[in-house]
């Protein structure tokens, strides 16, 4: 495993803060992501469409997100309010494990949303 010792060599990635506190069901999940990332008007509001949009987050010509990253670059989603929107994920109000709130996520907590 190679470790980066020079901060200048570290991967720089844009961070998008997802206002997860507004998510209460699947409809609001899709609304929040669509509004925050600027999904196109034809966004289908389902997981297949969500995956399509995020998969193309580095395709400027595709138009699937309002502010695409450069081809091959990473997009980091910061989801810090997940314990508020999905309390079933964190019983007894324990909140996410240390450091969990700053991880990059590529898929939503499918089983944790109300009504899922």
Q: Give which of 48, 47, 17 is closest to 109, Cα–Cα.
A: 47
Domain 7-112 = CATH 3.10.530:
no
**pLDDT tens digits for 44-87?**
999 999 999 999 999 999 999 999 999 888 899 998 776 565 66
Q: Residue 102: what pLDDT?
A: 35
**pLDDT tens digits for 83-105?**
565 665 555 554 444 444 433 34
Q: Where are the domains of the chain?
A: 7-112
Q: Residue 105: what pLDDT?
A: 41
User: Helices then strands (H, E): number in the chain?
Assistant: 3, 2
pLDDT at 1 over 70: no
Q: Report which of residues 99 and 29 the model is more confident about.
A: 29
Q: Is 88 helix (H, G, I), strand (E, B) or coil?
A: helix
Q: Give which of 17, 51, 21 is closest to 37, Cα–Cα.
A: 17
Q: Residue 21: what pLDDT?
A: 86
Q: Residue 84: what pLDDT?
A: 61
Q: Report which of residues 93 and 41 the model is more confident about.
A: 41
Q: For residues 113 and 29, what is the distance between their CA atoms, to the nearest angstrom?
A: 9
What are the structure tokens assigned to 28, written together?
């609001």
Burial of 3 (0-12, 13-18, 19+ CB in 10 A): exposed
């Amino acid at each position: 495993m190679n470790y980066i010792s020079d901060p200048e060599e570290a991967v720089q990635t844009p961070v998008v803060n997802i206002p997860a506190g507004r998510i209460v069901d699947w409809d609001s999940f899709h609304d929040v992501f669509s509004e925050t990332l600027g999904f196109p008007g034809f966004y289908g509001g389902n997981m297949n469409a969500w995956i399509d949009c995020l998969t193309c987050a580095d395709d400027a010509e595709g138009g699937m997100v309002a502010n695409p990253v450069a081809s091959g670059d990473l997009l980091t989603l910061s989801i810090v309010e997940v314990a508020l929107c999905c309390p079933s994920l964190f019983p007894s109000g324990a909140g996410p494990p240390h450091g969990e709130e700053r991880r990059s996520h590529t898929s939503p907590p499918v089983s944790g949303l109300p009504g899922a």
